[in-house]
Structure 1
Amino acid sequence: MKRTLCLLFHVLCVFLWAHGQTQQPYILNGNATQRSCNCYQLTPATTFASGTVWNKNKIDLSQSFNYVFDVNLGCDTNGADGIAFILQTEGTNLGANGQGIGFEGISPSLGVLIDTYQNTSENDPAYDHLAIQMNGLTNHQGTGNLAGPVQVLDGVNNIKDCQWHLLRIHWDATTHTLEISVDNQVRLSIQKDLVHDIFNDAPSVFWGFAGSTGGRTNVQQFCAALRPAFDFDASQILCDGTPVTFENSSSSFGEITRWYWDLGDGTIYNGAQPPAHLYPGAGIYSVKFVIQDNSGCISDTLTTSVTIGSYPKANFTPDTLCLDATPLQLSDASTVAVGTLNNWQWDFGNGNTYSGSSVTIPFTTTGNYPVTLTATTKEGCNNTISKVLRIAPSPSVGGTSSNVCLGDASIFKGENLTPAISIRTWTWDMNNGSTSDGQNTRYTYSQAGDYNVVLHATSDEGCEALSSAIPITVLAVKADAGKDTIVAIGQPLQLFSHATNIATAQYTWSPATGLNDPNSASPVAILNADQTYQLTVSSPEGCQDEDFINIKVYKGPEFYVPNAFSPNGDGKNDYFKAIAAGIPKIDFFRIWNRWGELVFFTSDLTVPWDGTIKGKPADIATYVWMIQGVDYTGRRFSRQGTVTLVR
């Protein structure tokens, strides 16, 4: 049935549109063309074009009228020049191009000019503007300027936006008031006796539109308005089970004679306004609306989605808040199958109401409080829920532990400082990415260091305690007695402990042979024979580590230098160096070849000769060496000799 009605209406539309074409009420001049039953193009996008469209039938200015048009100033934002609605008595073959917008020079006349180009010679503002002029005079500072110029739309500098705008010309013959509105905004108004002051007491005038281009162009159009539209009363709710009343708010230049409604659920209605309509259920319905005027013109189809909403399921979270939480806030958790939630009203029983999808509660003490939430959709559907909100106390906890040695387990103990509040969970954050559960727990760290352990606890009602920090240190004592060394018989040797990761410690050197203080971190040893010492370092926590140092004792002070070496890379005797017993510092160690050329030099006993000269292997031969240094008593002496290099 629906398909048949649509088809019949479509056939009727085509017939009536063709009929309206044959009954053309306008006279077209210049470049003006008819685009559809009620729409006309005044200018194409060509330079120095002009077009006028005059209605064949004069209007009587002794009678009020309210004309509504759609106007389109083009899509080129840099285009020109504009269009004008004109009242005049001179005929129906008038018009001009360029900055005059087809109005210039027509007298007597009244024009409502929409000017889209700035001509400084006419004192135009920089923005697209609207003005009321008379007698073909277009200069805004001349005697012909009755009102304006103003922006065509408030806050809009450029009206060449490719959009259709509703232009309303309203003449009140009783009060002699002419009012100009654009998109339902009143932009200009004058009070003037048009018949007497402009048309020499001749009330019958021609009316129409003119448009023009000059060096710049635009496609400029107007339509005798035929806009289907509908609204809903402010009190109308669009909810499942509620009848919907459509209010026809269509705009038309002429009298609307036919209406076609498709309400989107299979219901078709032909009339100005459908009766209250009950939709079969919640959903989104596509409503189509078409109108026809008394000239036979048929509007475009207005297609609008109308949402018939379902009633929401109101809810909020949480049911319990903790007094020490920040902020103390409730959040909407309502749901709706069809529609959009956009309003929330909260009642906390204290005489005040609050709005918003989330809200901070007005309570500052623990207890149980009634809370009511009413959730409403954009469609006006609402639902209410009331629940008891629990404001619960938050517990307070503390914790203890102590420093430990690396490899030993740290023992942590938690304490509930608010015994009246039961603790459900205890969690220890070990400050290394790991956690441990339980009021008391053990944990073994894999690395030494300082750790700021944090204790978290949650009550049976889900309230978290303020976290408690417990700093601990995991100690890793590292004893270092130093590198093995050599001394001369009777030479004092200062020993040093290089213990790490400990501020205070106990030191023990064993055996005590030759030591001035075996419990010092840096005792002095005087030896007559080779000796090995064990260093033991202990922390106050009982952490302990050991290390050893071997001391070779020579007669001296003396240089001990080998007479041969073999730098062949086999790891045996590859380097030539001296042992300086009782000589902590040397002045030099030099080596010459058989021709007296210096092949090696150092002043550092730890640097040996590797058997190369300038990076290349030295020849197999006998080389002369000399070494000089200062012994531990301050005496300087030297030694010299030869060494044989073999491969």
Structure 2
Amino acid sequence: NGKLIATHHKDYQFTVYDCERTVLADIPPLFNDCKSFTINFPDNSTTGKTYLWNFGDGDTSTAYTPAHTYADTGTYNLWLKVDPTSSCGDSIGAVAKIYPGLNTNFSHSGNCLQFPTGFQNLSSLNKNYDSINALQWNFGVPGNFTDTSSQENPSYHYSSPAIYPVTLTVMTEKGCEQTDTQSLNIYDKPPISLSPGDTDMCYKDQLQLNASSTLGGSYSWQPAYNIIGQNAASPTVYPRTDTTYYVTFTDNEKCVNTDSVHLRVKNKLLINAGNDTTICKGDPVFLNGTSNDQYAITWYDNAHQVVAKTLQAQTVPMQNETYTLEATLGTCIADTFMNTRVVPYPVPYAAPDTTICYGDKIQLRGGGGSFYQWFPGSSLSDSIIASPIASPKDTTIYTLTVTDTLGCPKPVDTSVLVGVIPPVPAFAGNDTIITTGQTFQLQATGGNKYLWSPATGLSDPNIPNPLVTGNKDVEYVVKVSIEPEGCYAYDSLHVRYIIGPDIYVPTAFTPNGDGMNDIFRPIPVGIRRIDYFRVYNRWGQLVFQTTQYMKGWNGTFNGKPCDEGGYVWMVKGEDYEGHSIVKKGTVLLIR
């Protein structure tokens, strides 16, 4: 009666641990789809840990995502512990409804936008221990929150064609809940396909048209012109003029759709094979046919072998060919042709491959065509004739381009090699002075064949190094040849005889740059070696010295011209018998 009867106290002891939680237990709170005694439990908990499941019926598991089969119906309280031996683990509980046998399903009738769509609940369950408590339909219209129903078999009228996700959720007395989702295609016109599409046909032929739909219904064709099976899905037509046939399809829900096919009736196939042509042998010929529409195309050669099946193609004929272009459309056939003339390439020639001496000329010979072009042309007398005169300075490859007017019009190249032997470096030797009565050996270089003239005083005029003996000044000319090419050149030397052996020294010189007496040098006669030649000024200063044969002083000292006046010279040499000759004197420098 509102009066305190007693007071009872109970103590609780809590142990608080200093830890940071690093694990999470995470599973759905309710398992109630009621499909089976077995549940495959999902797990979103922290991975890589230890787990302990208690399924509420006395059974346990340490798997991460276990499957468990319950022995009997009922509602079970289960829980999951993650890291159960740790003071910082985590746990979570859930409820499992085990009333198997629920199967949510539905069907529908009517996909046409013009009429409402009916839905039928086909769901079932085990009525021995459960019954349906509620239904929830959602007809899948985006942004519409009134497209729902809780009726057993509702209907819904859609406002626009689309594919809608329709769901039915079934809830039972035991707390089971299950959803079925199906895609519903609402169309404003029933689907229809038609083959062939717009096409060409021969005026003599028949053609079968084919209409089809994924739905049941009836077909009707218009116009009724030259058609067999006007109310069939696949009638046969045989129009004689261009005609458009229309098919009307009415499905079993009385929804209507229409499609059409346009038939272009051909009385004549217009094709063109192109112009006759001439090609060079080995080159491709380009087949370039044209037509006034799309037909089945075939090219044939002379042997009626198929060359191609397209209007544009290419092939390589090895002889004259007539290519036939054939077009077919049903039983209509048309053909035309083009002629291809195959002509050989020009066969050019150029000659001769040869070798000439430097400065010589050679006539080249070309042929095999009507027009010629030589390259390079700078060393030719005429670069556009068949046989020009060539005057190359170096070894040259001349390329000849030949073009013919009688056969293949394409240019063809050939070439010829003209080797040029460089100028013969004929050298007879330096002019020399010989002691009267002394024998002296000449030494020519530059080739492999020699001829000296005159032969007077020579031991052999046909060798490079004959011995010469005489007492009269003479100029020898040597012809130096390179065999077997026969290239040659001339050189000469002057031999002067003076009483000796001795060293002759001029008494004056004029180093003024006029090319006469500009160098003061000793003139050795019968002397094979100069030991020294020295020049001193009036103060005894050495202004020039040399040991070179026929080397002289140009009248300068340290790069500057010396003064006019007298200078002292000294010379020492050795004659061909090994005797030393020493001489000294003065020379007058005149400017």
> Which bracket does the TM-score occupy, shorter chain normalised?
0.3 to 0.5
Q: Which has the higher helix share?
A: 1
TM-score by length of 2: 0.45
Larger RCO (CA under 8 A, 6+ residues apart): 1
- Who wins on radius of gyration, i.e. which is larger? 2
